[in-house]
Amino acid sequence: VFAGVRQAQWLTKTKLVEGLPPAVQGVLDNPALGLQELEERAKHVVSHARLWDTAEVAPRRERYCPVLFENLIHICRLMSGKFPSLSKRMLARNCRIAATWERESILLQVRGLSGILMNSMSPIPPVASKEEIVATKEHVLETFYPIAPTIDLQEVNVYKELNDTGQCFRDGYPYSHPHTLFFLESANVRTDRFRPEQLRAKMLMFAFGTALAKARALHGNDPKVLEQPVVVQSIGTDGQLFQFMVFQLNTTDLVSNDGIKNLVWIDSDQNLYERAQCVPEVKKRVVTKPAGISGFQPDTFKKFLALYLHGTV
């Protein structure tokens, strides 16, 4: 997506709010939850993923990024002792998603592998109030005139307008609500990874596509403002830098730029740690940089945990 999130906003009829929504911030700021008790454990899993997981002197990103993710999820699951409903979650890997919609006179489709999807037995409640949703009517979407907002999208012949939530939401599946999408940008070669802005755009497109497919499964294909908005979160990381996103689908009436818009909250470019030194750096027989993790950022870990807990706590 050439203009990143700005372009994705137009394609999905979405208003952007910087930072995390109050509902997630409330989880972060609640001392009763004891999130800080898990900080040392989080620091330990960073060291495990970056320094100890392999015999290699310096583990490659394609190895340490997934290891770090699995370990962070493991820490999150420890909270199910306090909150038993957290055990009613399921991680689905290689989930395929397809959603088709019309903007102005353009037929658009998002489809493909949507990262790792955590499903839940119950949906995340709406994060924006009715008043905030109504206020989005006033929001004017940015256009890219004279550039078409679809400039670098791949053109294909659509023979079938797919709206498919993949295997994850089949009738009778108990974990039928999308909760959080995880995108691991773990390619070792930098040019093979999405840049942070591209990753945020991808996260927005797939969170929107997942929410739209779910909304249609619940309410049918007729365009409408949703009585009960659908909330889907997304977390993206390259194993060090994290992107956090909460998306709320307020409307499936996407053709015109008028009326109610969808909403997305984005907290960008949050480092979990500054550096991982696998072997000490020595100059003139003096250790200038000791081995280990430096600049660990507990707040980034707490945001990961708060998004996991959101909707349950």
Q: What is the pLDDT of residues 253-307, one digit of tens each?
A: 999 999 999 999 999 999 999 998 887 788 888 877 878 899 999 999 999 999 9
The arithmetic mean of pLDDT across residues 224-240, rounded, is: 96
The reported pLDDT for the residue numbered 98 is 84
CA dist 127 and 124 (Å) reads 8
Cβ distance 158 to 107 under 8 Å? yes
CA dist 297 and 300 (Å) reads 6
The reported pLDDT for the residue numbered 212 is 94
State percent of the chain over pLDDT 90: 62
Helix 61-77, helix 298-309: angle, nearest 10: 60
What are 162-186's pLDDT values in tens digits? 555 555 556 677 888 999 999 999 8
Q: State the burial class of residue 28 (Cβ atoms within 10 Å of its Cβ: 0-12, 13-18, 19+).
A: middle
The reported pLDDT for the residue numbered 166 is 54
3-state secondary structure of 25: helix
The arithmetic mean of pLDDT across residues 232-236, rounded, is: 97
The reported pLDDT for the residue numbered 279 is 79
pLDDT at residue 25 greater than cutoff 90: yes
pLDDT at residue 65 greater than cutoff 90: yes
What are 117-161's pLDDT values in tens digits? 999 999 999 999 999 999 999 999 987 665 555 655 554 444 444
Structure-block tokens of residue 91? 């991680």
pLDDT at residue 109 greater than cutoff 70: yes
CA dist 183 and 203 (Å) reads 8
Cα dist from 197 to 14, 191, 200, 241, 246, whole Å: 16, 14, 5, 12, 16
279-287 own/partner pairs: CB under 8 Å, 24+ apart: 279/57, 279/58
- Chain mean pLDDT for the chain: 88
The arithmetic mean of pLDDT across residues 27-40, rounded, is: 90
* DSSP letter for each residue of 28-44: HT-GGG-GGGGHHHHHH
Helix 61-77, helix 39-47: angle, nearest 10: 160
What are 46-64's pLDDT values in tens digits? 999 998 877 677 789 999 9
The reported pLDDT for the residue numbered 227 is 95
Q: Choose the weakest-confidence range: 81-95, 120-134, 208-222, 282-296.
A: 282-296
The reported pLDDT for the residue numbered 80 is 93
The reported pLDDT for the residue numbered 159 is 44
